Amino acid sequence: MDLIGGEGSKVLRKQGFRSLKLMSVDMEQELGNEPEPFGADYGRLDNGLVYYVRRNSKPRMRAALALAVKVGSVLEEEDQRGVAHIVEHLAFSATTRYTNHDIVKFLESIGAEFGPCQNAMTTADETIYELFVPVDKPELLSTAISILAEFSSEIRVSKEDLEKERGAVMEEYRGNRNATGRMQDSHWQLMMEGSKYAERLPIGLEKVIRSVPAPTVKQFYQKWYHLCNMAVVAVGDFPDTKTVVDLIKTHFEDKRSSSNPPEIPVFPVPSHEDTRFSCFVESEAAGSAVMISYKMPVSDLKTVKDYRDMLAESMFLHALNQRLFKISRRKDPPFFACSVAADVLVSPLKAYIMSSSCKEKGTLASLESMLLEVARVRLHGFSEREISVVRALMMSEIESAYLERDQIQSTSLRDEYIQHFLHKEPVIGIEYEAQLQKSLLPQISASDVSRYSDKLRTSCGCVIKTMEPRSAATVDDLRNVVSKVNSLEKEMKIAPWDEEKIPEEVVSEKPTPGDVTNQLEYPEVGVTELTLSNGMQVCYKSTDFLDDQVLFTGFAYGGLSELPESDYISCSMGSTIAGEIGMFGYKPSMLMDMLAGKRVEVSARLGPYMRTFSCDCSPTDLETALQLVYQLFTTNVMPQEEEVGIVMQMAEEAVRARERDPYTVFANRVKELNYGNSYFFRPIRINELRKVDPLKACEYFNSCFRDPSTFTVVIVGNLDPSIALPLILQYLGGIPKPPQPILNFNRDDLKGLPFTFPTKITREFVRSPMVEAQCSVQLCFPVQLTNGTMIEEIHCIGFLGKLLETKIIQFLRFTHGQIYSAEVSVFLGGNKPSRTADLRGDISVNFSCDPEFSSKLVDLALEEIVRLQEEGPSQEDISAILEIEQRAHENGLQENYYWLDRILRGYQSRVYAGDLGASCQILEEGRLRMRESLAPQTAQAALQRILPHPCKKQYTAVILMPQRSRFGFLSSLFASRPETSYIRDTKILAGIAGLAVLVFSIWRYSRK
């Protein structure tokens, strides 16, 4: 229901939420019109399939589709562990009508990219297939729905199909066997102990993935995939919903399942009164962490009272998170970061999960602080001021959703209907929900919110787990901490929360407004450009894409590349240290309360060639956003020992964590090879961190945001110029201009970063100790673009990157079945923004794989690129890449972020000479010329021109491999031993046998 409509009613719409009348609430009233969800054509076919269809025009001429299946890994038998996920993979591989990944190829041919626009996921309880497709041609929607129909009952499970897909599934499994994955799996099993869920992680078992026979997979698919357990969801820019319902009926109505499908069983998770403890030691851990989980049954959400309870729970989580954030910013904090969230883990179970990251050997202090804070709430509650801050925050969130109710993305609506089908979450419509929240939130008191702390007790369903790189805490230590906090609470020895005094205004004294000294209009891009009296250039574009969004970015040339190497590390820490101290004049913990109820985020960054600040805010909070920018330019950040100590401690922990990561050695070697070990690309080490000069860092940061005349600001979004312009003049125009220019650089005179690409072939293995074998490959080629045809070449290299990525995935995954995914990335960021110099950079191919096949896969990737250089891609390949680019471009034209980036590129382009309109036009014409000229022959020529030709003559290939074990070394000795005389071999083998005994003893000891 559109409460306020009409193109000319923007001002009314902005006031719409505040004019919504409060409801007289009946707590026992059911939510919505269940079982029918709001806004959708909803029904069930005779074969049991449920459907949801809704018209939605965001984005235009696109549809978000899904097939939701109430089948997950918990239904697997012991010999099927991982089969639910394998079925999901096989769906895109072959069905009755499609073979050899033809589904993927068709969808890419219409612009639906593999991954972002065609994907699937398997959990313990369900499997979801998702498509995001263009619908500007009627047959496209029909074909997409027919593909979902194939998934429902026609997935082909043959021995050949399964063998092709094993490698991809195995690589996904291997990718999950890192420190984070092992910790998550361990915690899951601890949480689910005593239930079938504990032994049914969706990824499954390696032995099943490698050897499960096709009949077993087929049996699982045929037993559980029944239409009565499925729903089709279609949300998009349709002419009408009836046509879509008819298409669903056309493609699904004739599908039939067995007459007596098995009922989906419920697998309870046993409750437990005793606290479960675990100390998980993980040598590759990114740091030390604590997780506290409080388990409970999933609560119903059927009535208004249930909805009120959900709001009170959300307020509790917000309020507790605000306290935890403030604790993390104290002197010598017990943790670096801590948060709490509620999550439904499996169908019958939800949990409040508190998690923190802390310094090494700090898990006990972190655990104590987390438990103390919950106990403090139980004893003293939250204050009314804390709850008023949270109430304002939540009111702001629902107001934003209400204002943009006609601009919700189709994917978001699709996901709501999926949850309605799978978990019976009501869909009641944003208008009713906004009115409900506006009526209920003021009625929820601090005591109502504080009562939720009773659910976070260690005496019922609690699981406490620590993760450390080296063992420091024991289970007895954890028990002692719990006992200590329980005693303090019982004896009422926990003090109330100490609140800070919060300033009321961001800017205490409003600045004198500046003037507009020059104004230009660029109708071809719909922007207005202003030059202010302090020299700042401001460009704005009004859009109607989202009613509650304004974005802006300011940039100035001159950054870290101008510094001597001796100052680089200190000054590169400037934004980090300033952010912790308070770059806007207030500590982050204080600013959080000051901005309660406002939707505004402002950040600042120091880059190699530019300094930037960026913002995302509501139009109603534009004044606050601009005030923060004014504060950024007028605050003199000075290092405080307390805040700097926190920053440096966190930075040191991050460096230590990186050094434990097996990928660190790999990443460091890649940078060293490709960029000549340049200091700018070299990771910071502990000894360098300890030499950081905080005063120098803050002084440099202050100078970077001091002279407004060096900055250009681009603003895009729902702007009313009559309201925005006075604010721009006051807070941007009011920034004082210094007597002398500060960091005022000509873009053509900036110093370039020192880096060089190797001139010869370099191919090497990097071996790193690992808990479980991982392998990562980066194949890299140098790129140099000449100035004469630069605009077309930059567009061309983007097309080539996508072409190479698509072909390598097709070749290494779909043909050889050896990788899960691949990424091709283009790096040109090391170049200074000169308008005349050539561009240097690289194109890299990245994938993970089985260590045993890594060298072979590098050779195959090189051969495929050589083939493309010598034979060229097919017309089908080119058409698919052009279609993907065009569909992404069409989507972008409806997004504020796209236009912000497009205008920034117009200013920063090498063709910019003071005329933004001309610059943007040249860039777009270059894109169109590239599209028009791209054909198999021109793509082949570009691959020869831009990459080394042939590509095998100059590249780097770095392969991360597990460090060889002592047994591997011994095996290689055996394998390489030539057959000579019997007596000689006997002596050698006897010597090796003695060595093996010693090595085995050492190995057993080290494993302990």
Q: Can you tell me the distance from the alpha carbon of 514 to that of 726, in angstroms, rounded to the nearest whole number?
A: 9
Task: Give the angle subtended at the CA of 158 by the CAs of 152 and 162, to the nearest 5°.
Answer: 90
Residues 757, 828: Cα–Cα separation, whole Å: 13
Answer whether 153's CB lies under 8 Å from 257's CB.
yes
Q: Which of 165, 399, 699, 885 is catalytic?
A: 165
| 3-state secondary structure at position 634 | helix
Strand arrangement, sheet containing 822-827: 762-768, 956-962, 776-785, 839-848, 822-827
**Other C-beta atoms lying within 10 Å of the C-beta of residue 194:** 11
* Distance of alpha carbon 221 from alpha carbon 201, whole angstroms: 18
**620: its two tokens:** 């109603």
| CA-wise closest residue to 832 among 909, 914, 747, 906 | 747
Q: Residues 630, 511: contact at Cβ < 8 Å?
A: yes
Q: Is 1007 helix (H, G, I), strand (E, B) or coil?
A: helix
Active site (annotated) includes residue 399: no
Q: Which residues are CB-neighbours of 637 under 8 A, at least 6 positions away?
A: 577, 578, 581, 582, 583, 698, 701, 702
Active site residue 88: yes
To the nearest 10 degrees (0 to 180), the angle between helices 896-908 and 916-933 is 100
With CA atoms as reference, report the closest residue to 112 among 881, 811, 934: 881
Using CB atoms within 10 A of its CB, is residue 975 exposed (0-12), middle (13-18) or buried (19+)? exposed
d(CA 812, CA 808): 6
CA dist., res. 437 & res. 414, Å (int): 23
Query: What is d(CA 500, CA 571) in angstroms, rounded to the nearest whole number?
Result: 31
- Is 423 within 8 Å of 74 (Cβ atoms)? no
Strands 50-55 and 41-44 turn out to be antiparallel
Q: Given the residues 76, 88, 864, 895, select the one marked as catalytic.
A: 88
Tokens of residue 696, six digits:
């120098």
- What are the start-end ranges of the H helices in 267-383? 304-328, 363-380
Q: Output the CA–CA distances (angstroms, integers) from residue 359 to 268, 289, 366, 475, 647, in the order listed.
A: 37, 8, 9, 19, 12
**Contact assessment for residue 372 and residue 485, using Cβ atoms and an 8 Å cutoff:** yes
Q: What are the residue numbers of the active site?
A: 88, 165
